[in-house]
């Protein structure tokens, strides 16, 4: 069972009733060892053929869109770092903290857009809203290529961030509406890994453009990077109009049969996830008088500020004057490969062990060690510094586990999930808008005065807060407060829901 929430936890505020006509839970049958192993490898392999077919469709449509869309989103979000070390700095006369300001303006737009975007999704179907936002941020990304000064890019980066604000929260909300706790960790981390793949690809793409496109059409290689990144996003957004299934109760996609939609609803009912209802003042009162919104916000702030350190790896590489422009773009891709490996490892481990918190702590410890190395070793000790930098890449996957944990803790209310995820993200990026300007001043490389030590502190804060949240949640189980009566129900409740669904289809 999950320590944070049972696999089939029933979340309700009123006791359930059972009529005589309702099928009773089936007795538990222990699965063969081979089935249990298959269930760990991929969680749909130990389910009924009907449920496997449903999950196969959901994985094909949802995962294909969200991974590629987030891949493109991260290309458009982080490409300024590759452009900066590939000629943009010199062409536009950038100096001092200008690179950080590019990130800050993007972050301001991202902060402003987060909460309104989540509120829009309570009225406008995600299948319309999310692809529309992707089209808009792709257009603004292309516009950066024509900028003649850094001030114009500041404005364009603001609008890129404003519309990209819809992506992470919106996608995590969709995942939480279709997948059970036993399935959610893998999907969330696979989705998270697409951001690492994007940053890896951006380095390869910029290196290739620098070698083959620099000067073509009168444009520098860094300008071609923004054009390519923007163009890629437009067909993906069109695909999103057809791929995104909204929620089980509102889904109108033709690729799901009526019987499959009913099964999807039954699956969510079995774990206590209710369909959307009206957002009221009482909704906000319930949210802001409970612990999740506060503790998850502080923990996620620490997470976002901590992992920010690795984005300066290529700036550090350039400052050492040891590597060519192509090498400065390519070397960090090894870190992103490491990031993908660890993120997927966290996913399988957390779902197989049915826990989130120990995996998050483990990830923080790895990155904490990396920051300590960067803090204590002299910058001319290149092997030690390289080891420290690469270790900082390994914590990113913990972010997806935090949001997965939120989806599980607040499984009883879609409105609570939507709002709390928005608040958590908004608070985290509010701090990211200004803290890096002080902590990671690019004029101080190759050795930040306090940046490495602050990153270590942020990871340590994460570890402490995970322990506090475990205590708070277990106290909630005992007291039944926060309108969350979390019962560690066993597998029969889930089986019963599927039995009822199959019975209704047969009738």
- Note the pLDDT tens digit of each residue in 149-201: 999 999 999 999 999 999 988 998 898 889 887 788 888 888 888 878 877 78
Exposed e or buried b per residue across 454-489, where buried means at least 16 C-beta atoms within 10 angstroms of its C-beta: bbbbbbbbbbebbeebbebbeebbeeeebebbbeeb
Closest CA to 140 of 219, 81, 77: 77
- Note the pLDDT tens digit of each residue in 477-492: 655 544 443 334 333 4
Residue predicted with more confidence, 213 or 129: 129
Average pLDDT score over the chain: 82
Q: List C-alpha distances in Å: 232 to 63, 138, 164, 213, 250.
A: 18, 8, 15, 17, 30
Beta bridge partners of 10: 487
pLDDT value of residue 438: 82
End-to-end CA distance of the chain: 34
Of 41-45, 188-192, 316-320, 480-484, the one with minimum mean pLDDT is: 480-484
Of 130-134, 273-277, 449-453, the one with minimum mean pLDDT is: 273-277
Q: Averaging pLDDT over each range in 66-75, 405-414, 465-474, 494-503, which range is the top one?
A: 465-474
3-state secondary structure of 297: helix
Q: Is residue 445 part of a domain?
A: yes
Element counts in the chain: helices (H) and strands (E): 21, 2
Q: Is residue 364 part of a domain?
A: yes
- The answer to whether residues 482 and 473 touch, using CB atoms and an 8 Å cutoff, is no
Residue predicted with more confidence, 315 or 5: 315
- The answer to whether residues 356 and 404 touch, using CB atoms and an 8 Å cutoff, is yes
Per-residue pLDDT band at 301 (split at 50, 70, 90): very high
Q: Is residue 253 part of a domain?
A: no
- pTM exceeding the 0.85 threshold for the entire prediction: no
Domain that holds residue 244: 53-248+272-506
pLDDT value of residue 43: 64
pLDDT value of residue 16: 39
Question: At 144, which CATH number?
Answer: 1.20.1250.20
Rounded mean pLDDT, 227-243: 92
- Note the pLDDT tens digit of each residue in 95-115: 888 888 898 899 899 999 988
pLDDT value of residue 432: 84
pLDDT value of residue 173: 86
Alpha helix ranges (H) inside 126-180: 126-144, 150-178
Closest CA to 317 of 232, 268, 261, 386: 386
Longest CA–CA span in the chain (Å) reads 77
H or E stretch covering 219: none
Percent of the chain with pLDDT over 90: 36
Closest CA to 152 of 143, 161, 139: 143
Per-residue pLDDT band at 30 (split at 50, 70, 90): low
**Total Cβ atoms within 10 A of residue 309:** 29
Residue predicted with more confidence, 401 or 326: 401
- Site of tokens 């972050």: 107
Rounded mean pLDDT, 338-351: 89
Q: Is residue 473 part of a domain?
A: yes
Q: Give Cα 487 to chain centroid, integer Å.
A: 28
3-state secondary structure of 16: coil
Q: Is residue 176 part of a domain?
A: yes
Residue predicted with more confidence, 168 or 370: 370
- Site of tokens 């449920």: 51
Residues with Cβ within 8 Å of 495's Cβ and at least 6 positions away in sequence, in order, are: 25, 26, 28
Q: Given CA atoms 252, 254, 256, 260 in this order, what sign does their dihedral have?
A: positive
Per-residue pLDDT band at 496 (split at 50, 70, 90): very low
Per-residue pLDDT band at 72 (split at 50, 70, 90): confident
Q: Is residue 29 part of a domain?
A: no
Q: Is residue 100 part of a domain?
A: yes
How many structural domains is the chain composed of? Answer: 1
H or E stretch covering 485: strand 485-487
- Note the pLDDT tens digit of each residue in 6-29: 333 333 333 333 333 333 333 334
Q: Is residue 12 part of a domain?
A: no
């Amino acid at each position: 069972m999950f320590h944070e929430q049972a696999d089939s936890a029933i979340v309700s505020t009123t006791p359930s009733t059972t009529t005589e006509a309702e099928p009773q839970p089936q007795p538990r049958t222990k699965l063969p060892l081979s089935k249990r192993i298959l269930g760990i490898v991929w969680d749909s392999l130990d389910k009924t053929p009907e449920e496997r077919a449903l999950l196969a469709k959901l994985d094909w449509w949802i995962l294909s869109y969200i991974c590629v869309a987030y891949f493109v989103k991260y290309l458009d979000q982080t490409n300024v770092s590759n452009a900066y070390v590939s000629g943009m700095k010199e062409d536009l006369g950038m100096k001092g903290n200008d690179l950080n300001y590019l990130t800050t303006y993007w972050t301001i737009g991202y902060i402003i857009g987060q909460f309104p975007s989540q509120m829009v999704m309570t009225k406008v179907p995600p299948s319309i809203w999310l692809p529309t936002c992707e089209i808009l941020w792709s257009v603004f990304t292309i516009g950066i290529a024509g900028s003649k000064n850094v001030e114009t890019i500041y404005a364009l980066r603001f609008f890129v961030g404003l519309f990209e604000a819809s992506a992470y929260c919106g996608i995590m909300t969709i995942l939480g509406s279709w997948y059970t706790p036993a399935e959610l960790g893998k999907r969330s981390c696979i989705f998270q890994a697409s951001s690492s793949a994007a940053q890896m690809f951006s380095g390869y793409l910029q290196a290739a453009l620098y070698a083959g496109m620099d000067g073509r059409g009168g444009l520098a290689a860094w300008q071609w990077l923004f054009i390519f990144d923007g163009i890629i996003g437009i067909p993906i957004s069109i695909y999103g109009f057809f791929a995104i299934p909204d929620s089980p109760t509102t889904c109108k996609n033709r690729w799901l049969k009526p019987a499959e939609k009913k099964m999807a609803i039954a699956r969510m009912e079995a774990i206590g996830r209710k369909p959307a209802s009206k957002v009221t003042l009482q909704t906000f009162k319930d949210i802001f008088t409970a612990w999740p919104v506060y503790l998850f916000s502080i923990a996620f702030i620490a997470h976002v500020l901590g992992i920010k350190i690795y984005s300066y790896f290529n700036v550090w590489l350039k400052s050492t004057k040891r590597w060519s422009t192509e090498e400065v773009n390519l070397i960090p891709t090894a870190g992103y490969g490491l990031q993908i490996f660890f993120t997927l490892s966290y996913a399988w481990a957390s779902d197989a062990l049915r826990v989130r918190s120990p995996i998050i702590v483990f990830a923080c410890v790895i990155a904490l060690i990396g920051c300590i190395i960067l803090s204590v070793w002299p910058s001319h000790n290149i092997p030690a510094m390289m080891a420290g930098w690469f270790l900082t890449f390994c914590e990113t996957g913990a972010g997806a586990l935090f949001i997965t944990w939120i989806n599980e803790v607040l499984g009883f209310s879609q409105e609570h999930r939507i709002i709390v995820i928005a608040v958590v993200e908004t608070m985290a990026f509010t701090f990211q808008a200004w803290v890096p300007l002080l902590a990671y001043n690019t004029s101080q490389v190759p050795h930040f005065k306090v940046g490495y030590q602050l990153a270590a502190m942020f990871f340590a804060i994460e570890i402490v807060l995970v322990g506090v949240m475990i205590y708070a949640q277990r106290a909630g189980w005992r007291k039944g407060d926060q309108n969350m009566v979390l019962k560690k129900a066993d597998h029969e409740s889930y089986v019963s829901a599927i039995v009822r669904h199959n019975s209704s289809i047969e009738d």
